[in-house]
Structure formats: C-alpha cells, structure tokens
Amino acid sequence: MPTLSQPYFLDGTSLLDSTSVYMNSGLSILAADGYYSDGFNTRELVGGVLLPSQPCPACGVLCGGAISGSGAQGEYILEINTGNLPTAVGAIIITFNPFGVPDAIIAELDGVFYNEVSSPNFGYLAGTPNLPTFIGTTGADCGISGSTYTLNVREWNGTAFVPTGTTDIITVAPGQMQLTASAPGACVMVVPKTNATPSLLTVKCYGVCLSTAFNINILCPAKIKGINSSVRFTDPDNPALCSAGLTSKLYPVRVTGVSPYIDLHDWIFADEFASSVVADGFYRTNNLVAPNDTIEVQNGVVVALLDKCP
C-alpha cells in the first residue's frame, strides 16, 4: 500500500483536504491507484481521485488527545493507539458522560470486551457481558429496551467524528439497560493493558435516542499507584480488623476521590495493571478522610466508608 512516508505530493494541505496524490511537486504526474495513509487516516485513490477518508485500522489515533462529544443518533467508533513500547502498559482510564439521554459504551482490547463503569453518583453499573451498557436517566428513555435501530456509523479521526458512509443495525436487550433516576455523571471505565502489544483499543458508543450527546476521554495506559491496606475482612466488626497491619496493597482508580484519598464509587484493583478487582469485603486503610478508616468494596467499587477503629 503506498503511504505518505514515500515521496508523494498532495494538492491540499493534508491528506484529509486533498483531492488527489501526485508523484512530483508540480502536480502533473498522478500517483498510482491504491491506498494512502498519513498514519491516522487512509484514503483510496481511484482513477486519480481520492475517496472519502477512513481511519487507519492498523494505526489508530494516539491516546491522550482531547476528544470532543458527539451529537445526534448514531454509532461512534474510536480506534485508539495506546502505544507499543515496554512502558505502554497499565490501566487505560476511559471517562464517559452520557448526560441525561441514555447512551451506550463498550471497549475491546486484545479480543476482550469491557462494559463496566462506575458512576460518581450511583457507583457500579454494568449490563449484559460483552454487550454495550446503556447509561443515562430513566426519565429520558426513548423506549430503548427491545428496540432495533439502524445507526449511521462515524469514526474518530483525531479531530472529529466523520461519517463512514455505512450503517449498523443493533437490537437492545433488556440486560443492557443500566439507567438511573438522575444523570449518572462522568462514569469511569478501566481497561487493563498488561502487555505492550496489541496496542489498538476499540471503543464504541451508541446514541439511539434523538438529540442525544455524550463526552468521552481516553487516557494512555499507566500503572496504578498502590496504597497500604489491611487484608480483606468479611465482617467489619471483627476485632482483628483494627489490629491488623497495613501490609497489603490496594490499587485505586478514583471516580470521586481526590488523591491521596479514596472515596465512594472509586474502583479498587488488586494490581497496578487493573487486571482484576479485589474481592468483596472490608479493608482498612489510612487513605481516607477522617474519621473513616475502612472501606467496603463490592464488584470492585467502594460502596461504603466506615469509622470502625478508635
């Protein structure tokens, strides 16, 4: 496939706004038909004319950049390059805010799907495994459950979501719905990346109601800083809780907490890569605002702050 790293010339300022590709700076010799890429977008040259842009599936848009929200009904795809250096490992933190009108999200890395989020207002929310989870307010539900939608597909090119000219048909199962009484807020999904490769993360968002919108942000992978804790207790009234040494580690991803503290609805993982959450139970830690000293965790999310020890 021809690429722009070779000596090709454009009749525009970039691959996106050009109409053709040439072999010389005078733009008199057309390049051969084929696919041309700038590392983020790919366009096919047919008969000397560039067809509409499409994201480069092998490249993806680099992680960590600003991503604007979307508007209107549709399927929105983000192919994100999370890096392939040995240091490009850890937790990939995705923040997704559907506002009021329900929208759905799912992420995929190395063949594994992720659809669990923690809402700053409601905590753990997750629909049917391997399917997009719809979050938003119950009052703004447009009759989503059980409905079938034909959605125009748009893909993120690094600056905007651009139409691909294709559609996708989805039917929403009842188990995908995780609506709440009020807006869930900026929900946090965590995707573990334990190896440098593969590096391509795919995130799909679905807006099925009219006049919907969402905001999304995707950080590059980074190892989680651990905090000291006790071992797990199943009974918060166990006298051994207060005398237990803080000899274990918890790895928090904050949803409402402000470092160095943790708070309600924060994620709690068992390792720095976020590859597994801690078991349900009670953990004592010094990383809580006084007078609290113990957290209760369910589904990997803090559900209670307790003052158990004098």
Confidence check: pLDDT of 177 > 50: yes
By the 10 Å C-beta count (0-12 exposed, 13-18 middle, 19+ buried), 225 is classed as: exposed
What contacts 23, CB < 8 A, 6 or more positions away?
Answer: 7, 8, 9, 29, 30, 31
Confidence check: pLDDT of 279 > 50: yes
My answer on whether 176 and 50 are in the same domain is no
Predicted local distance difference test score (pLDDT) of residue 157: 84
Domain coverage including residue 32: 9-55
Confidence check: pLDDT of 57 > 80: no
Structural domain includes residue 13: yes
Once rounded to an integer, what is the mean pLDDT over residues 128-155?
A: 97
Q: Where does the pLDDT of residue 1 fall: very low under 50, low under 70, confident under 90, or very high at 90 and above?
A: very low
Confidence check: pLDDT of 30 > 80: yes
Distance of CA 60 to the CA centre of its chain: 14
My answer on whether 169 and 266 are in the same domain is no
Once rounded to an integer, what is the mean pLDDT over residues 175-198?
A: 97
Confidence check: pLDDT of 4 > 50: no
My answer on whether 233 and 213 are in the same domain is no
Q: Where does the pLDDT of residue 5 fall: very low under 50, low under 70, confident under 90, or very high at 90 and above?
A: very low
Give the up-direction half-sphere exposure of residue 84: CA atoms within 13 A in the CB hemisphere: 9
Structural domain includes residue 4: no
Predicted local distance difference test score (pLDDT) of residue 75: 96
Burial 233-263 (b: 16+ CB within 10 A, else e): beebeeeebeebebebbbbbbbbbbeeebbb
Predicted local distance difference test score (pLDDT) of residue 138: 98
Structural domain includes residue 290: yes
My answer on whether 80 and 156 are in the same domain is yes
My answer on whether 253 and 190 are in the same domain is no
The mean pLDDT of the chain is 92
Structural domain includes residue 3: no
Residue where one domain finishes, among candidates 218, 248, 273: 218
Which residue, chain included where needed, has tokens 């021809």?
Answer: 2
What contacts 13, CB < 8 A, 6 or more positions away?
Answer: none
My answer on whether 86 and 50 are in the same domain is no
Q: Where does the pLDDT of residue 70 fall: very low under 50, low under 70, confident under 90, or very high at 90 and above?
A: low
Structural domain includes residue 174: yes
Distance CA 282, CA 59 (A): 43
Give every strand in the sheet of 294-298, ordered side by side.
Answer: 227-229, 248-253, 267-269, 301-306, 294-298, 281-284
Confidence check: pLDDT of 27 > 90: yes
Structural domain includes residue 1: no
My answer on whether 84 and 147 are in the same domain is yes
Q: Model-level pTM? A: 0.82
Once rounded to an integer, what is the mean pLDDT over residues 216-244?
A: 97
Predicted local distance difference test score (pLDDT) of residue 3: 37
Structural domain includes residue 47: yes
Once rounded to an integer, what is the mean pLDDT over residues 127-148?
A: 97
Q: How many domains does the chain have?
A: 3
Confidence check: pLDDT of 2 > 50: no
Predicted local distance difference test score (pLDDT) of residue 60: 76
Confidence check: pLDDT of 72 > 60: yes
